[in-house]
Structure 1
Amino acid sequence: MQVFSSNNTQERERERERERERERERERERERERERERERERERERERERERERERGERERERERERERERERESSIVGIFLILERETSIVSIFLILVIGLKIAWPWACLIPYAMTCSKYDDFIVRDRCLAIKKSPMKTLKFHRRLYGWGRFKWKFFVTNLLKIIIITLIVTVFLAINIDTVLYIRSLVWSPPIVRHVHMQDDLQRLPMMSIAKHFYNESSLALDRTEANILYKRVKILCIVPTIQSHVDSGRVDIINSTWGRRCNKVIYLLCPTKYRPEFINTCMYEESKKFLLDKVMFALYHVYHYYINDFDWILKADDDTYVVMENLRLLLSHYRSDQPGYLGYHFRTFLMQGYNSGGAGFVISRAGLKQAMEMGFNKGLCAISGEVEDLEIGKCMEISNVPVLNSLDKYERQTFHTDDYMRHITGAYPAWLIIYTRQSTAGGAECCSQFVISFHHLDTYSIIILHHLLYRTSVYGINTPKLLPEMFHAKKVKKLRRFVVPVQY
């Protein structure tokens, strides 16, 4: 009986313990519900903030469109005022022409007369002519009083007047304007039709980019063997994400990217708020077209890719619209890694994080497994920032939190493949001071600045992209061929974590 009572007591104790556990579980569930409610409230607040930002962005875009229309109206001015608009005002041109005509008029009249005083028969008149010969206006008045207007030979008068006007205009133009306009005038004779009627000071803004883009799309006239490149194109599938803005679409930069390196992506998508829909555009009108919303756009795009394209591509490249990427060389590097293992690579910085992070401007690449792991372990758990100005650093934090390692992007000679600046800075070694502090690898200049199989350059305008593409794909050196590349061209490895990371004094 005593044993039975003891068992009942233990059973009741266990029941009370289970009840307390259930109560604690209900309390935890209520706490989680309150946390979810707070998260929903924060999300609603973020949505309201995004709505306000969209309204501000719409107002800014309207102002930008108005400024664009104003620039269009200004650019429609043609003729001599367009040529001289940089260096001289209309008033100064008018004054120069008036002074020129003031001088030219009497001399034009006197060339057939006053310069040859011997035509006068009367010696007194001839002597007086010689005496006042140096004063054209007085000589003209003297001749008019002596002979009247009827003796004028209008053919000589008009011919010489036109000659002097033309000479005055030529001298005015070549003295008042700079060397660029002189070169422009020469280009009207020697340049092809594609650059006719373009002012040298404004040619970079007014060239017909869409027409130029079509020229680069056709490679049928080139002697190229793309066998190896085509094999890698099918084996290493890359989705390219390019943040841009509507004005760059209007200026033709997006068309240039599509006709140069963008066409070598397996798929390319652009992040912007478009005025006209195109299949490759992802609408980001909820964010203002500003650098401080770049992280918002990129995270939105990565989330979009994770949901809709994660199984269609091996790697995801993010590059700016002022970046040029040699896709064949990128595929060569990525062929040394497996896309079903997490990792991301680019130009490696050593600041702020133990594993460092990759530059956003030079472009960075995330493996399929790396993106999936970052979304599931970081983004979905709220551990990754979705808003901020320093896009590449926040992406690096998200990768480190999600245990996605940084992969090596150097070639076997320890030369960089991704580059944070334009080719002139890297080749000459004229690096900005911040890069020397940030970079994980030494910043070499000259011939050792860049890998033979360079992948990217940053801070390029549209015309530098055109020139670089032409030199890479439409220019060859006879008798020099690239051999089939050996596997040891790149060393496939994870980058070791830093013992300590660098925090710049000014950031």
Structure 2
Amino acid sequence: MTAETLMPERKRCLLLYFITGLVIGALLAVVVSFCSPYCRKLIQSNTRYRHSHLIAVTNNNKNIPTDLSQTIRVLCWIVSNGKHQKSRAQHVKRTWGRRCNKLIFVSWQNDQELGTKPEDSGNSWSKTQAALKYIYANHLDEADWFFRADDQTYAIMENMRYFLYNYSPETPIYFGHKVKDHISANAGYVLSKAALRRFVEKALPNDKLCIRNSTRTESIELSECLENVGVILGDSRDRHGCARFVPFRLNKYLTSWRRDYTIFKSAEDLTCCSQTVIAYNFVMPYKMYLLDHFIYHMRTNNTAIAPISLPLR
């Protein structure tokens, strides 16, 4: 076969390759055009839930601040047993307590590092009355919400502020973990400014509305006193019905016995706790530092916190 006869055959092969490439390219373009909306949704859905335990807020509305720490001012008051001040309370101050707008420690033992405030020498209920009266008299205008915790509580203040953003501090309301007939103080509770006012101004002065000398626990008496002056116990669960205030150790909370204690039931034990938890209790000091590290410092590779919009007020 001569060179003259090979040339037309080579041209035909090149033309065939060219046409084949055009067809494959067109098919790929069609596939990509149909796939791209789905792919975008898939990517968005995957990134939306990364680090969803810690809420980051996007500023879609220029009038809404991305940092809620000055918009939702929270005073945290920590009840500490004097003998545990060095072993527990100071670790609250060094971890999550730094994110409160104001941090107060209430204890019978004076501590210059913590700046403790004196408490009543009676039971938990009398101590609570004394603490709330002190806060009302000295710090009412320094915060919008007042969060009670103890020295074994670990709170995620960003989640608390995001949750509270939807409520006015002038609404008489409070939040915590609701049990059968009252709240549990174990994971803490947070009162609005209006709720604190009603408690001190209306409930405490009236023995018919609030029994000041009761020997019952703080949780029961406080719930009854607040109810008697029209303060609402709000629902702090997330949209899946999962708890934001967790009053037990997590290993205990996942067991069946807690079903008899809590008023709200989760669908499954493993979904008992919200992805936007506000507070845990019975957290040992070293675990507070671990939680601080995992929540605020550690990130998996090539991931980002997905911003979400603030809820409507």
Q: Shorter-chain-normalised TM-score: which range? A: 0.7 to 0.9
**1:416 CA drift (Å):** 1.2
Partners of 2:218 and 2:267 in 1: CA distance: 26
2:142 is paired with a residue whose SS is coil
Partners of 1:317 and 1:274 in 2: CA distance: 21
Q: Tell me which residue corresponds to 2:130.
A: 300
The letter of the residue matching 1:330 is M
2:68 is paired with a residue whose SS is helix
Uncovered stretches (5+) of structure 1, i.e. residues with no partner: 1-224, 352-356, 493-507
Whether 1:267 aligns to 2:102 is: yes
2:200 is paired with a residue whose SS is helix
Larger radius of gyration between Structure 1 and Structure 2: 1
Structure with the higher fraction of residues in strand conformation: 2
Q: Tell me which residue corresponds to 1:348.
A: 178
Q: Tell me which residue corresponds to 1:375.
A: 200
Q: Tell me which residue corresponds to 1:255.
A: 90
Alignment match of 1:459 (pick from 250, 273, 282): 282
Instruction: Using structure 2 for the length normalisation, give the TM-score.
Output: 0.73
Cα 1:479–1:449 change in 2 (3 A) is: farther
1:393 is paired with a residue whose SS is helix
2:195 is paired with a residue whose SS is helix
Partners of 2:111 and 2:286 in 1: CA distance: 25
The letter of the residue matching 1:234 is Q
Partners of 2:268 and 2:291 in 1: CA distance: 19
The letter of the residue matching 1:468 is L
Partners of 1:439 and 1:447 in 2: CA distance: 16
Does the 8 Å CA contact 1:287/1:297 hold for their aligned counterparts?
A: yes
Q: Tell me which residue corresponds to 2:167.
A: 337
**1:227 CA drift (Å):** 8.8
Q: Tell me which residue corresponds to 1:478.
A: 301
Cα 1:283–1:295 change in 2 (3 A) is: same
Whether 1:232 aligns to 2:57 is: no
Q: Tell me which residue corresponds to 2:79.
A: 243
Q: Deviations over 1:208-254 (max 9, x none)?
A: xxxxxxxxxxxxxxxxx999897200100001111102222232x22
Equivalent residue pairs, number: 251
Q: Tell me which residue corresponds to 1:417.
A: 244
Does the 8 Å CA contact 2:195/2:231 hold for their aligned counterparts?
A: yes
Does the 8 Å CA contact 1:268/1:280 hold for their aligned counterparts?
A: no
Q: Tell me which residue corresponds to 2:186.
A: 361
Does the 8 Å CA contact 2:57/2:310 hold for their aligned counterparts?
A: no
1:234 is paired with a residue whose SS is coil
The letter of the residue matching 1:358 is I
Alignment match of 2:225 (pick from 373, 398, 406): 398
Structure with the higher fraction of residues in helix conformation: 1
**1:445 CA drift (Å):** 4.7
**Cα-Cα RMSD:** 2.4
Q: Tell me which residue corresponds to 1:23.
A: none
Alignment match of 1:450 (pick from 250, 253, 273): 273
Partners of 2:168 and 2:81 in 1: CA distance: 33
Q: Deviations over 1:109-139 (max 9, x none)?
A: xxxxxxxxxxxxxxxxxxxxxxxxxxxxxxx
Partners of 1:444 and 1:297 in 2: CA distance: 37
**1:385 CA drift (Å):** 2.9
Higher mean C-alpha displacement, 397-406 vs 445-454: 445-454
2:247 is paired with a residue whose SS is coil
**1:390 CA drift (Å):** 1.0
Does the 8 Å CA contact 1:239/1:316 hold for their aligned counterparts?
A: yes
Q: Deviations over 1:65-109 (max 9, x none)?
A: xxxxxxxxxxxxxxxxxxxxxxxxxxxxxxxxxxxxxxxxxxxxx
Whether 1:384 aligns to 2:210 is: yes
Does the 8 Å CA contact 2:255/2:269 hold for their aligned counterparts?
A: no
Percent same amino acid among aligned pairs? 27
| Equivalent runs, 1:286-325 vs 2, <5 Å | 286-287=120-121, 293-325=123-155
Cα 1:335–1:226 change in 2 (3 A) is: closer
**1:463 CA drift (Å):** 2.2
Instruction: Using structure 1 for the length normalisation, give the TM-score.
Output: 0.46
The letter of the residue matching 1:237 is R
Whether 1:283 aligns to 2:118 is: yes
Cα 1:250–1:348 change in 2 (3 A) is: same
Partners of 2:247 and 2:130 in 1: CA distance: 24
Uncovered stretches (5+) of structure 2, i.e. residues with no partner: 1-55, 60-64
Q: Tell me which residue corresponds to 2:31.
A: none
Q: Tell me which residue corresponds to 1:92.
A: none
Does the 8 Å CA contact 1:341/1:367 hold for their aligned counterparts?
A: yes
Partners of 1:384 and 1:269 in 2: CA distance: 25
Partners of 2:290 and 2:172 in 1: CA distance: 36
Partners of 2:69 and 2:241 in 1: CA distance: 26
Does the 8 Å CA contact 2:155/2:280 hold for their aligned counterparts?
A: yes
Question: Whose RCO is larger (CA < 8 A, sep 6+)?
Answer: 2
| Equivalent runs, 1:43-442 vs 2, <5 Å | 231-251=67-87, 253-278=88-113, 280-284=115-119, 286-287=120-121, 293-351=123-181, 357-382=182-207, 383-387=209-213, 388-426=215-253, 429-431=254-256, 433=257, 435-442=258-265
Does the 8 Å CA contact 1:239/1:265 hold for their aligned counterparts?
A: yes
